[in-house]
Amino acid sequence: MMKRYLLLLVFFGITAVPLSGCMMWMPGMDHGPSHQMPERAKTIEKDIPEKDARLILDVPPLSAGEEATLAFTAGRIRNGAPITGAAVTFLIERLRQPAAEHADYDVVTSDERTAEELAGKGIYQVRYKFGEQGLYRITARARIEADVPAPVKIAIVQDVGRREGHDHDNEASVTPWMVVGGIGMAVMMLLMVL
């Protein structure tokens, strides 16, 4: 009797090990790059000595369907004083990979927004909702001197992903499999204890 019980326990133990990771590979559970956490926040800095300007562009992690605050900071290189009263716009362009290897990106869509300054601090912000996942170029353009028509620019390219758990397309097909997998795991655990 003890041998049968031990043999049954070993059999269920050997069966449970390969199945313990089955929840990761259920149908409808896509763990590819488009469903992973979005790219980390990015900050770039650019000095323009001839204008005595230091430009900083801050972009948080971006996710499709979510609103993000894009920030541009302008200050003087020599004394660090903020550059206030500038006319700042953000150009947000959705990009497509070029067909040729060394060609520029193709712009699919573009949107321009005027930024608001935070109480004379030289920090300019705009809130923007990224509708689709993909590659985006975000360019901040600022007219820091009223008598100079050419704006100063700083740009960054960032990938907009989809946060894990925000894939509503597969939600209906995943739920039954999760229930079946959970019941199967509970039955295996019960049989291992017996």
pLDDT, residue 97, reads: 75
Total number of domains constituting the chain: 2
**156 lies in the same domain as 174:** no
Tell me, yes or no, whether 86 lies in a domain.
yes
Full DSSP string of 39-107: PPPEEEEEEEGGGTEEEEEEE---BTT-EEEEEEEEE-TTT--B--S-EEEEEEEEEE--SSTTSPPEE
**42 lies in the same domain as 132:** yes
pLDDT tens-digit series, residues 132-159? 888 999 999 999 887 777 889 999 999 9
**60 lies in the same domain as 151:** yes
**138 lies in the same domain as 180:** no
Averaging pLDDT over each range in 9-13, 106-110, 165-169, 187-191, which range is the top one?
Answer: 106-110
> In angstroms, rounded to a whole number, what is the distance separating the alpha carbons of residues 24 and 74?
47
Query: Which amino acid would we find at residue 81?
Result: A
Please state whether the predicted TM-score (pTM) of the whole model is above 0.85. no
Q: Identify the band that residue 35 occupies on the pLDDT scale cut at 50, 70 and 90.
A: very low
What is the domain range of residue 135? 37-160
- Give the mean pLDDT of 89-116: 85
**80 lies in the same domain as 137:** yes
pLDDT, residue 102, reads: 65
CATH number, domain at 111?
A: 2.60.40.1930
